[in-house]
A and B are shown apart, each in its own frame.
Chain A
Amino acid sequence: MIKLASTLACAILLITAATTPVLAAERATDPLDSPRWSDMEKGILSGAPYVFDARVRVEAPATAENPLNVPITIDATALADVKEILVFADFNPILEILRFYPDAAPAYIGFRVKLQQSTPVRAAVRTGDGVWHVGGTLVNTVGGGCTAPSMGSTSSEWQKRLNEVTTRTWNEGPMSGRLRMRIIHPMDTGLIAGIPPFHLESVVLSDEAGRPLARLEVSQPVSENPVFTLSRGSNAGALHARGRDNNGNTFNVRIPQ
């Protein structure tokens, strides 16, 4: 019965997608005109309904000086009922960059990424109705970001400081509600011979009562020693952040307000 219901829901969504002219029209052309889009549509979005939507703002420098550290800011706060933000890059050897679930936080996140070559960087934002709203921007870069070894892999410093977390919150002024968090991690992609993938996998931010505010699933392209910029919205009080990498190393810290 449950299965039937979900199949029906899917069918209804598909019909809606097919019959809503705006949806159909917007879907027709990729604003970034990427030859990879049809692959992204099938592979990353698994054929689910989507629209290109200018309300999903993806900011990055048009030309990235350092392919190991390309800043990306995703702002989907103009959309209501955001369930998930999936960030990916059409031409990266590892397409998926991260998934962000803003459970009780604004749909806003900033971080840095490694890019192997010039590529669209996109955010697909899934709203409660199951539709993906896709925004993106083009980044030109020299490349080599994913196949250059991390600084960490060439020194032993990170071993002593792995998963060390530093944070800061801003409670007044123009940045009020902002949280920034840096985690020491080499974020090795596994694309370099002899260096296996070793990366942060999940981060959960919760309030004092343990209620999750936001969850992150992090993939290898996120830059070494990731720095996340998040918004806590109206959630007052201290926060907790806990995380885990793909080797089972964990952290659990309290972030005072």
Chain B
Amino acid sequence: MRRLLATLIACLSCQAWAAGSDYQLTPVAIAEGVYSFIGELADFNPSNGGNIVNTGFIVGTEGVVVIDTGPSRRYGEQMRTAIARITPKPIALVINTHHHPDHFLGNQAFADAPIGALAETGKGIASEGDAFAENLFRMTGDWMSGTEVKAPDQVLLAGPLKAGGRSLILLALKGHTDADLAVFDEDSATLFAGDLVFNLRAPTTPHANIAQWKDALRDLDRFMKDHRVRVLVPGHGPIARDALPIAWTRDWLTWLDKSLRESAAEGLDMNETLTRPLPDAYRDIPVSGSEYRRSVGHLFPAAEASSLQHSH
């Protein structure tokens, strides 16, 4: 009887565990040997466990290249399990596109593989990683248990790179953060754009420099044409077979920048700027209201400062 009870309790807690910890990661084949895990169009919350991001992997002749590792150790582990169902090949290289938490906190699951990123990304993870992880714990809860910062151990540079038997081209850009890496797979003509490109999901701006970001989008646009990119994987939002997500991201940033400058020039303060309505085109975009308000916090002080004049 006691044993039955114990089994019952074990089952119940087992079910509770399953409900709150399975990201249900399903690899979507997006090109020959290229897969992506598509995240929710939402903010970090306790029901999605931080799975709001697009990650991916490329299967080469010798091994697998992993692009971003998700928001938690658990995500990384489940991602690795899902990869193993597709191929028995070893992990040749893990790439972190930039230093935001949903892109690298799964690194622990790949601790036995080389993990590479741009130099500035490595520095950002080392200095801000713990604070990011703490914040994600607060926002998603138990999904994060066991997650610790595992910083990249390889510095990646712009240019061609052979990994796992695939030929990649790395693009070192900036604007979403101080270091944003885009990864192009030559064989499949797939471009993983990281968070330089959002698609029908409001962009995030905690470390953004909008002028640099728009320059990066111009470079990506040109790259798409020059290399006949067939598949574009944005950091957040649906995968595309054209360059429209680049234009979409550029339009959002242009609107945001203009709107904040206008607001400052009209004399509005931050509270008044926060309550300005979004244009019709953005009202139904997922998380547009909350991302706009976050962006006001990040970017309005600078817009405001440049609207004021020196007094003597």
Shortest Cβ gap from A231 to chain B (Å): 11
Docked pose: A194 CA to B271 CA in angstroms: 33
The contact size tier of chain B is 20 to 34
**Is A66 in contact with B298, judged by CB distance below 8 angstroms?**
yes
Q: Which of B271, B293, B294, B308 contacts A168 (CB 8 A)?
A: B308
**Is B269 in contact with A110, judged by CB distance below 8 angstroms?**
yes
**Is A255 in contact with B138, judged by CB distance below 8 angstroms?**
no
**Is B311 in contact with A167, judged by CB distance below 8 angstroms?**
yes
Docked pose: A173 CA to B268 CA in angstroms: 12
**Is A227 in contact with B135, judged by CB distance below 8 angstroms?**
no
For residue B301, CB closer than 8 A to chain A, the reply is: yes
Closest to B308 in A: A166
Q: Is the interface of B mostly helix, strand, loop or mixed?
A: helix
For residue A241, CB closer than 8 A to chain B, the reply is: yes
Across-interface contacts of B309 in A (CB, < 8 A):
166-168
In the complex where A61-B271, A61-B293, A229-B269 touch, is A254 in contact with B308 (Cβ < 8 A)?
no
Across-interface contacts of A61 in B (CB, < 8 A):
271, 274, 293
Ranked nearest first, the 10 interchain pairs of A and B with the lowest CB-CB distance are A175-B267, A71-B270, A166-B308, A253-B311, A65-B297, A110-B269, A170-B267, A229-B269, A66-B297, A71-B271
Interface 0/1 of A12-25, CB less than 8 Å to B: 00000000000000
The contact sample of 21 A-B pairs, CB cut-off 8 A, is A59-B271, A61-B293, A64-B297, A65-B293, A65-B297, A69-B297, A73-B271, A164-B310, A165-B311, A167-B309, A167-B311, A173-B266, A175-B267, A175-B268, A178-B267, A182-B304, A182-B305, A241-B311, A253-B311, A253-B312, A254-B311
For residue A112, CB closer than 8 A to chain B, the reply is: yes
Docked pose: A178 CA to B270 CA in angstroms: 14
Q: Which of B138, B266, B269 contacts A142 (CB 8 A)?
A: B138
For residue A60, CB closer than 8 A to chain B, the reply is: yes
In the complex where A66-B298, A69-B297, A69-B301 touch, is A182 in contact with B308 (Cβ < 8 A)?
yes
**Is A166 in contact with B305, judged by CB distance below 8 angstroms?**
yes
The contact size tier of chain A is 20 to 34
**Is B135 in contact with A168, judged by CB distance below 8 angstroms?**
no
For residue B15, CB closer than 8 A to chain A, the reply is: no
Q: Which of A142, A170, A253 contacts B135 (CB 8 A)?
A: A142
Interface 0/1 of B258-271, CB less than 8 Å to A: 00000000111111
Interface 0/1 of B279-312, CB less than 8 Å to A: 0000000000000011001100100110111111
Interface 0/1 of B141-156, CB less than 8 Å to A: 0000000000000000
Q: Which of B266, B267, B310 contacts A166 (CB 8 A)?
A: B310
Across-interface contacts of A180 in B (CB, < 8 A):
267, 269, 304, 308
- List 18 additional contacts besides A73-B269, A178-B267; criterion CB under 8 Å: A61-B274, A65-B294, A69-B301, A110-B271, A112-B270, A164-B310, A165-B311, A166-B308, A168-B308, A168-B309, A174-B266, A180-B269, A180-B304, A181-B308, A241-B311, A254-B311, A254-B312, A255-B311
Closest to A176 in B: B267
Footprint of B on A, CB under 8 Å? 59-61, 64-66, 69, 71-73, 110, 112, 142, 164-168, 170, 173-175, 178, 180-182, 225, 227, 229, 241, 253-255
Across-interface contacts of B304 in A (CB, < 8 A):
180, 182, 227
Closest to B135 in A: A142
> Which residues 233-279 of B sit at the A interface, judged by CB distance below 8 A?
266-272, 274
Across-interface contacts of B301 in A (CB, < 8 A):
69, 225, 227
Shortest Cβ gap from B6 to chain A (Å): 41
Docked pose: A170 CA to B269 CA in angstroms: 13
**Is A166 in contact with B311, judged by CB distance below 8 angstroms?**
yes
Shortest Cβ gap from A24 to chain B (Å): 33
Across-interface contacts of B270 in A (CB, < 8 A):
69, 71, 110, 112
Docked pose: A229 CA to B270 CA in angstroms: 10
Shortest Cβ gap from B26 to chain A (Å): 32
In the complex where A61-B274, A65-B294, A253-B312 touch, is A168 in contact with B307 (Cβ < 8 A)?
yes
